[in-house]
Amino acid sequence: MACKTYYEMLGVASGASAQDIRKAFLKLSLKAHPDKVGNTPEVNDAFIALKEAYETLSDTEKRQEYDL
């Protein structure tokens, strides 16, 4: 299975605005949060990856570095 980019994980385009990224993260986090889905190692890992994608893309400097 191919690795997904942070943009793919959040379901946004590479040119998405900060507002679009935040909105996508909030929507996905409601569906994928371990407290909602079940606290298993797989769920925790998936949520951590989702959170990392959001933290990277929502920070201008980190996003520029990621896009290189």
Could you tell me which residues come within 8 angstroms of residue 17 by beta carbon, excluding any fewer than 6 positions away?
Answer: none
Global pTM reads 0.85
The pLDDT tens digits of the residues spanning 41-64 come to: 888 898 999 999 999 999 999 999
Could you tell me which residues come within 8 angstroms of residue 64 by beta carbon, excluding any fewer than 6 positions away?
Answer: none
What is 6-67's CATH number, 3.40.50.10860, 3.30.2320.80, 1.10.287.110, 3.40.350.10? 1.10.287.110
Instruction: Give the model's pLDDT for residue 39.
Output: 82
Is residue 2 pLDDT above 80, yes or no? no
